[in-house]
Amino acid sequence: MTSAVITGMGIVSPYGFGVEAFRRGLHLGRSAVGPIQSFDVSTSPTQVAAEVPIKEITTSWMQESLSQFSGTFSLPTQSIPEGVWRDRKVGFALLAAAEAWSNAGYRSPDPSGSLSLALGLEQALLEDFAPHFDGAINWESAFNSAEPGIRFRSSADLAAKWVNRLLKLEGPSMVHLSACAAGTLAIGHAASLIERGATELVITGGADSMVNPLGLGGMSRLGAPSPRNCAEACRPFDLRRDGLAMGEGAAVFVVESHQRALKRGAPILAEIAGWGSTQDGYRITAPRPDGSMAARAMTLAMEKAGIAPQDLDYINAHGTGTPLNDPAECEAIHRALGEVAPRVPVSSIKGAVGHLMAAAGAIEAAACLIAIEDQIIPGTTNLQSQDPRIPLKVIGPEPEPATIGHVLSNSFGFGGQNATIVLRKVP
């Protein structure tokens, strides 16, 4: 049985484009949450988010951005459907994949590669309905109208298809549609594919943007975002936490077997040592308050990694900053770690970069890899006064140096899907 290692990482985050922009942002611990720029939110109940700093993606901008990465390939511009960039996560996924591929040291395509990618909801393009609406949708005209490539709704696997085309992957392609747990599930799945010998190379991670009218509006209707329209909107584990901040972006990783990585002299960022998934099976609007099923996912991941709770050096929490999530996660950590729980450093980066939804687990895995690489635990931006009902060793807003060998990262999805991975520093 072989182990799975991460040899390349690419990031598009609210801090900007690339791993280094993300690293700088994390080390500064600043919040990237601010007034939404990409569309008019003047009447929206939620007016802030952590947006990737580009207002509109175009084909020429994508071509130029991709050209900076060696070992990647130009997009077949002529076959790009009209309007594809309206679904922002497609562009984010492509750029992150190109950077990961390049950073992993690849200079040519490897068709044997598989894809296991977490993607968010299809983007609903409400404006497309307007010309066909007169008290009701005139489906006759909508159905028979001119045929741009993307209309009404982008397809769920659009970003995956374009990553496959960019990197010329020919292995099985799997898209995880598991809301906020999807990124972590995809990474665990990639490691599992390597371990079971199904493939030696997987591109994994996640991309999402729900910073669009229906995405933001739908979450607002649920009451998930903080009502504060300011940079301090999301305050994980804080006494005054009152909701999440939406974010967008992508993090993509090249995962391969340890032997293959050693053979080609690839940089090894970490081993994906363990993973586990469970479901709460509880309610659609709330996590299981006793944290028992989230704890089970954590325990499974630690068992798989062959470690005990005291071996953990850092927990990257799901830490949404919502009233219900954070105490349930605290319960889960206590259940899974027992008496060790109050001593293991915990932080959440969602106060800084927002909640990237399907990509949350991926961007947080990237934060864990940087923590391992730099031996610095990212801070919990906006944490001012820790909720006394959350007895955990939560790192404050400032990052903290530490000796980090094993990191555990949690992701819990709307609907109750729980996923945990354990990353291990490779000597």
Partner 1 sequence: MTRRPAPTPIAIGAAAVVCPFGLEWRGLFQAMSAGPSRFGPLPLPPPFHQIEAAAIDDGLLAQSPVHRRELKKMSRSAHLAAIVTHRVLGDLDPQVSPASMGFFLGVGASGATIGELTAMLEASIDAHQFSLKSFGKQGLLACNPLFAFQLMNNFTLCHSAIRHEITGPNAALFSRGGGTVSALIEALYALRNGDCQSALAGGADSACHPVTLCELSREGFIEGGLRPGEGGALLSLHAQPSGGLASIVDASLYPSPTHRWGEIMEQIKRDHLRRVDALVLAPWGAPSRVSLRSVCADYFPNTPLFDLSLHLGEALAATPALAWAVGLDYLQTHRSASTTLVLSLGPDGDLGAVSLRKEREA
Of the residues 64, 82, 156, 168, which one makes contact with partner 1 according to CB under 8 A: 156
Beta strand 4-13 pairing with 270-279:
antiparallel
Paired residues of 340 in beta bridges: none
Please compute, for residue 66, the number of CA atoms within 13 A of its CA located in the half-sphere on the CB side.
26
- 259 is a site residue for partner 1 (CB under 8 A): no
The correct pick among 13, 31, 72, 199 for binding partner 1 (CB under 8 A) is: 199
- From residue 84, how far is each of 89, 90, 98, 151, 328 by CA, in Å? 10, 7, 18, 9, 39
Q: Applying CB under 8 A, what is the total number of residues that bind partner 1?
A: 80
Question: Would you call 368 a catalytic residue per the annotation?
Answer: no
Return the residue of 4, 95, 185, 207 that touches partner 1, per CB under 8 A.
185
Least separation in angstroms between residue 126's CB and partner 1 is 6
Q: Which of 2, 3, 44, 375 binds partner 1 (CB under 8 A)?
A: 44
Separation of alpha carbons 366 and 254, rounded Å: 12
DSSP state of 115: E
- Rg, C-alpha atoms of the chain: 20
Shortest Å distance, C-beta 224 to partner 1: 9
If one asks whether residue 367 binds partner 1 (CB under 8 A), the answer comes out as no
Helix or strand or coil: residue 104? coil
Neighbours of 208 (CB within 10 A): 32
The alpha carbon of 424 is separated from its chain's Cα centroid by a whole number of angstroms, namely 19
Task: Give the amino acid at 275.
Answer: W
Residue 75 interacting with partner 1 (CB under 8 A): no
Nearest approach in angstroms of CB 121 to partner 1 is 6
Query: Is residue 197 within the footprint of partner 1 (CB under 8 A)?
Result: yes
Burial class (CB in 10 A: 0-12, 13-18, 19+), 389: exposed
Active site residue 176: no
Range 107-146, binding partner 1 (CB under 8 A): 121-122, 124, 126-127, 129-131, 133-137, 139-140, 142-144
92-118 in b/e form (b: 16+ CB < 10 A) is bbbbbbbbbbbbbbbeebbeebbbbbb
CB of 220 to partner 1, least distance (A): 7
Q: Which is nearer to partner 1, 203 or 269 (CB)?
A: 203
The answer to the question of residue 55 lying near partner 1 (CB under 8 A) is: no
Closer residue to partner 1 (CB): 292 or 386: 292
298-357 residues near partner 1, rule: CB under 8 A: 300
DSSP 326-337: HHHHHHHHHHHH
Rounded Cα distance, 205 and 254, in Å: 9
Which is nearest to 359 in space by CA: 139, 202, 147, 211?
211
Site for partner 1, residues 201 to 220, rule: CB under 8 A: 213-214, 217-220
Given 102, 417, 422, 425, the residue binding partner 1 (CB under 8 A): 417
Judged by CB under 8 A, does residue 45 bind partner 1? yes
CB of 119 to partner 1, least distance (A): 8
The gap from C-alpha 66 to its chain's centroid, in whole angstroms, comes to: 21
Which CB, 9 or 187, lies closer to partner 1? 187
Q: Which of 176, 228, 241, 424 binds partner 1 (CB under 8 A)?
A: 176
21-40: contacts with partner 1 (CB under 8 A): 39-40
Closer to partner 1 by Cβ: residue 24 or 168 = 168
Is residue 369 near partner 1 by the rule CB under 8 A? no
Helix (H, G, I), strand (E, B) or coil at 339: helix
Q: How far is the CB of 359 from partner 1 (least distance, A)?
A: 14
| Options 108, 147, 339, 427; binder of partner 1; rule CB under 8 A | 147
Burial state string for 264-296 with b = 16 or more CB within 10 A and e = fewer than 16: eebebbbbbbbbbbbbbebeeeebbeebbbbbb
Query: Could you tell me which stretch among 64-72, 96-104, 175-183, 360-368 binds partner 1 (CB under 8 A)?
Result: 175-183
- Residue 406 is a catalytic residue: no
The residue from 176, 189, 318, 406 that is catalytic is 318
Of 19, 52, 158, 175, the residue at the interface with partner 1 (CB under 8 A) is 175
Q: What number of CA atoms fall less than 13 Å from residue 174's CA on the CB side?
A: 19
Choice between 107 and 221, CB closer to partner 1: 221
Q: Is beta strand 201-209 parallel, antiparallel or unpaired with respect to 248-257?
A: antiparallel
Residue 284 touching partner 1 (CB under 8 A): yes
**Per annotation, catalytic residue among 176, 189, 234, 355:** 355
Q: Are 236 and 317 in contact (CB under 8 A)?
A: yes
Nearer to partner 1, 65 or 154 (CB): 154
Q: How far apart are CA 221 and CA 210, in angstroms?
A: 14
Nearest to 236 by CA among 399, 359, 381: 381
The residues assigned a catalytic role are 180, 318, 355
